[in-house]
């Protein structure tokens, strides 16, 4: 195990080095330019200098030097695929481009640049993006005929995974750690009529110095990369090594968005709870993984941990709801579980990805825990954050049909689901990814139709459990944060309760207990809602009054004391 671990680490390191030497701002000349040498020479005389072609360190590239920000007047159109990290990355990329003179386009037709923030997690995710690319290439041809500027840019995990394989399809390829180089890449590619690429991974980049320009105002990146190397997963190869953003920078950003009136924030990162800020020394929490859990890498030491981060945030912004995703089950020390219990503004909801209910499959997946250890953790969390109707909500990810998964293994996954009863489960059929350990060492031997059938059985089980849990909310009051119009009717609002279940309620006037007036509900209000019906995905109810996290919590405390004394 130790030797394999060293080998894996070496592979990642060498990939980072290869990324730096080979890929930085690498500009490939294609046949387009070869055919027109004269015009190329002219462009060169006004374009980047020879030094721009010399391979170097990403951080040494001056991203704005040769770009006339005021004059280019170009507009960008974003499309985001994949996980919440990509939503945040889009905001970071947009912030960088905005500072470099780009404006935002509301549609492809009027855009000069289309940026796709991509995902590689399963083959299906990439197939969807390839289809979109083909469509964009046809638009580009039409625009070229009309002599209009149009650049296609691939950002994110697919850029990182496929690197130069994308060169013949797009103008710019930019990996998750290279967004600061984006203006430079777009400029070079446009000047030379050639493709430009930077897929260098970094050991430090957290974009702590870039304030994301919010498209969705509620997520803040805390942690990047993943060192876990689960055998099926491409993320460590696309997102690089784990690194934590300094605590002060996260807190500053959250305080700023709280001042702008944002009422909920989600702390983001693959394994966000493995957070460890070593930038300012200190740290009051011991470093150990949850009991029965291990990592394939040497546990790191020191630094401020996630429990300290989330408690500090909860103290600083008491009127804001705080969530986090995606945590790993190995990093749930008691300090964190107690923080979730104690702070009314930390949501009573944990995403606890299990992946499988069979210890044998979990071992093949290299998840670092057994079925028993996972179930013990669930019991432990529920013993600390109890309650019947306000049960801490658990959600999970499951993979159906992983290499070597037998029918008995699959039944164990179903039984784990029945035992835990998740409020929500994301279920996926296993998809083989190149570079991963499963690709090299295991057999993708579960037939497609069996994978699909098991996948459907997992979904059915999750729906049954979620329906039962949601029906438990009927006749209960829930605190709902209003997010937007309901998709089905403009006469209704849609929001979420503390457990992250969607709640639909009619738009109407109710009493605002803080202001002492009757008024219409607005987006961003916390509303006490009496639930009257439930499906596996949604609750419906009637608004009772406009409330707040503090008022709600004081009332619940009083109720608890009354129940206790009677």
The sheet that has 113-118: what strands, in order across it?
26-28, 195-198, 172-174, 151-156, 113-118, 75-80, 103-104
Nearer to ligand SAH, 397 or 551 (CB): 397
CB of 271 to ligand SF4, least distance (A): 5
The sheet that has 264-268: what strands, in order across it?
219-221, 264-268, 321-325
Q: Choose the contact partner of 306 out of ligand F3S, ligand SAH, ligand SF4, none; CB within 5 to 8 A by kind.
A: none
Q: Give whole-number Cα distances, 277 to 201, 206, 212, 420, in Å.
A: 20, 12, 21, 32
What count of residues does the chain have? 566
Q: Which residues contact 455 (CB under 8 A, 6 or more apart)?
A: 400, 401, 427, 428, 429
Q: How far apart are CA 498 and CA 177, in angstroms?
A: 33
Q: Which residues contact 323 (CB under 8 A, 6 or more apart)?
A: 264, 265, 266, 267, 347, 349, 500
Q: Residues 79, 255, 376, 397: which binds ligand SAH (CB under 6 A)?
A: 397
Q: Which residues contact 375 (CB under 8 A, 6 or more apart)?
A: 416, 419, 420
Structure tokens at 218: 């509620």
Say whether residue 433 binds ligand SAH (CB under 6 A): yes
Say whether residue 274 binds ligand SAH (CB under 6 A): no
Q: Residues 431, 452, 471, 553: which binds ligand SAH (CB under 6 A)?
A: 431
374-404: burial string, b at 16+ Cβ within 10 Å, e else: bbebbeebeeebeeeebbbbbbbebbbbbbb
Q: Residues 25, 184, 231, 270: which binds ligand SAH (CB under 6 A)?
A: 270
Q: Choose the contact partner of 479 out of ligand SF4, ligand F3S, ligand SAH, none; CB within 5 to 8 A by kind.
A: none
Q: Residues 430, 462, 473, 493: which binds ligand SAH (CB under 6 A)?
A: 430
Q: Choose the contact partner of 236 out of ligand SAH, ligand F3S, ligand SF4, none; CB within 5 to 8 A by kind.
A: ligand SF4
Say whether residue 346 binds ligand SF4 (CB under 6 A): no
Residues 208-247 touching ligand F3S, rule: CB under 6 A, are 234-235, 238-239
Instruction: Name the nearest CA neighbour of 196 among 21, 26, 20.
Output: 26
CB of 207 to ligand SF4, least distance (A): 19
Q: Phi then psi for 50, rounded to 5 degrees?
A: -55, -35
Q: Residues 92, 157, 167, 394: which binds ligand F3S (CB under 6 A)?
A: 157
For residue 215, how far is the Cα from the chain centroid? 14
Instruction: Name the nearest CA neighbour of 438 among 508, 367, 528, 516.
Output: 367
Q: Residues 23, 58, 76, 85: which binds ligand F3S (CB under 6 A)?
A: 85
SS3 track for 440-509: HHCCCCCCHHHHHHHHHHHHHHHHHHHHHHHHCCCCCEEEEEEEEECCCCCCEEEEECCCCCEEEEECCE
Nearer to ligand F3S, 80 or 195 (CB): 80
Residues 117-136 touching ligand F3S, rule: CB under 6 A, are 119-121
Nearer to ligand F3S, 238 or 395 (CB): 238
Question: By three-state DSSP, how is residue 322 classified?
Answer: strand
Q: Choose the contact partner of 229 out of ligand SAH, ligand SF4, ligand F3S, none; CB within 5 to 8 A by kind.
A: ligand SF4
- The site that binds ligand F3S (CB under 6 A) totals a number of residues, namely 13
Q: Phi then psi for 330, rounded to 5 degrees?
A: -70, -20
Q: Which stretch in 14-22, 33-41, 77-85, 206-214 sits in contact with ligand F3S by CB under 6 A?
A: 77-85
| Binding string, residues 92-121; x marks residues near ligand F3S by CB under 6 A | ---------------------------xxx
Find where tokens 């139709």 sit. Answer: 449
* Helices 334-342, 306-316: inter-axial angle, 10-degree rounding: 20
Q: Choose the contact partner of 431 out of ligand F3S, ligand SAH, ligand SF4, none; CB within 5 to 8 A by kind.
A: ligand SAH
Whether residue 152 contacts residue 136, with contact meaning beta carbons closer than 8 Å, is answered with: yes
CB of 328 to ligand SAH, least distance (A): 5
Structure tokens at 110: 């009027």
| Binding string, residues 237-276; x marks residues near ligand SF4 by CB under 6 A | ---------------------------------xx-----
Structure tokens at 200: 């260098």
Say whether residue 119 binds ligand SF4 (CB under 6 A): no
Say whether residue 152 binds ligand F3S (CB under 6 A): no
Say whether residue 236 binds ligand SF4 (CB under 6 A): yes
Q: Residues 136, 157, 167, 235: which binds ligand SF4 (CB under 6 A)?
A: 235
CB of 154 to ligand F3S, least distance (A): 12
Nearer to ligand F3S, 93 or 235 (CB): 235
Whether residue 487 contacts residue 493, with contact meaning beta carbons closer than 8 Å, is answered with: no
Say whether residue 83 binds ligand F3S (CB under 6 A): yes
| Binding string, residues 313-342; x marks residues near ligand SF4 by CB under 6 A | ---------------x--------------
- Cβ burial of 491 (10 Å; 0-12, 13-18, 19+) is exposed
Whether residue 100 contacts residue 64, with contact meaning beta carbons closer than 8 Å, is answered with: yes
- The site that binds ligand SF4 (CB under 6 A) totals a number of residues, namely 10
Question: Footprint of ligand SAH on this chain (CB under 6 A)?
Answer: 121-122, 232-233, 235, 270-271, 326, 328, 353, 355, 397, 399, 428, 430-431, 433
Question: Footprint of ligand F3S on this chain (CB under 6 A)?
Answer: 82-83, 85-86, 119-121, 156-157, 234-235, 238-239
Question: Footprint of ligand SF4 on this chain (CB under 6 A)?
Answer: 226, 228-230, 233, 235-236, 270-271, 328
């Amino acid at each position: 195990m130790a030797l394999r671990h060293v080998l894996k680490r070496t592979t990642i390191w060498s990939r980072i080095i290869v990324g730096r030497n080979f890929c930085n701002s690498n500009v490939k000349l294609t046949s387009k330019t070869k055919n027109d040498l004269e015009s190329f020479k002219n462009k060169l005389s006004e374009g980047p200098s020879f030094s721009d072609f010399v391979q170097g360190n990403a951080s040494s590239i001056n991203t704005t030097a040769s770009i006339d920000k005021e004059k280019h007047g170009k507009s960008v159109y974003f499309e985001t695929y994949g996980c919440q990290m990509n939503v945040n990355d889009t905001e970071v990329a947009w912030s960088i481009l905005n500072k470099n003179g780009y404006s935002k386009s509301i549609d492809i037709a009027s855009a000069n640049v289309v940026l796709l923030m991509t995902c590689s997690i399963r083959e299906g995710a990439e197939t969807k993006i390839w289809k979109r690319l083909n469509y964009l290439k046809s638009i580009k041809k039409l625009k070229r005929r009309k002599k209009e500027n149009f650049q296609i840019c691939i950002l994110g995990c697919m850029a990182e995974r496929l690197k130069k394989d994308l060169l013949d399809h797009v103008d710019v390829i930019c990996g998750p750690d290279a967004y600061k180089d984006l203006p430079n890449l777009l400029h070079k590619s446009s000047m030379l009529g050639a493709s430009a690429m930077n897929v260098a991974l970094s050991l430090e980049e957290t974009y702590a110095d870039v304030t994301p320009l919010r498209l969705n105002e509620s997520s803040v990146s805390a942690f990047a990369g993943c060192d876990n190397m689960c055998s099926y997963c491409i993320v460590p190869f696309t997102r690089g090594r784990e690194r934590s953003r300094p605590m002060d920078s996260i807190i500053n950003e959250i305080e700023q968005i709280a001042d702008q009136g944002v009422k909920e924030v989600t702390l983001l990162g693959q394994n966000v709870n493995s957070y460890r800020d070593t930038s300012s020394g200190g740290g009051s929490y011991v470093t150990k993984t949850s009991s029965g859990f291990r990592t394939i890498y040497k546990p790191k030491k020191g630094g401020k941990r996630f429990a300290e981060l989330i408690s500090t945030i909860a103290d600083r912004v008491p009127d804001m709801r705080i969530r986090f995703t995606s945590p790993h089950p190995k990093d749930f020390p008691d300090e964190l579980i107690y923080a979730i219990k104690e702070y009314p503004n930390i949501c009573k909801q944990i995403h606890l990805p299990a992946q499988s209910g069979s210890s044998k499959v979990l071992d093949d997946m290299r998840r670092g825990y057994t079925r028993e250890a996972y179930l013990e953790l669930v019991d432990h969390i529920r013993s600390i954050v109890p309650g019947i109707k306000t049960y801490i909500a658990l959600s999970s990810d499951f993979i159906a049909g992983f290499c070597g998964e037998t029918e008995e293994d699959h039944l164990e996954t179903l039984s784990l689901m029945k035992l835990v009863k998740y409020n929500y489960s994301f279920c996926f059929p296993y998809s083989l990814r190149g570079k991963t350990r499963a690709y090299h060492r295991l057999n993708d031997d579960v037939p497609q139709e069996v994978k699909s059938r098991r996948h459907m059985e997992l979904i059915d089980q999750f729906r049954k459990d979620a329906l039962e849990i949601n029906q438990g909310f009927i006749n209960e009051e829930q605190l709902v944060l209003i997010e937007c119009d309901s998709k089905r009717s403009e006469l209704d609002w849609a929001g979420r309760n503390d457990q992250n279940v969607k709640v639909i309620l009619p738009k109407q006037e109710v009493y605002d207990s803080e202001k002492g007036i009757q008024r219409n509900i607005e987006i961003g209000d916390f509303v006490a809602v009496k639930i009257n019906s439930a499906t596996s995905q949604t609750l419906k109810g009637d608004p009772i009054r406009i409330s707040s996290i503090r008022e709600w919590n004081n009332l619940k405390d009083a109720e608890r004391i009354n129940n206790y004394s009677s």
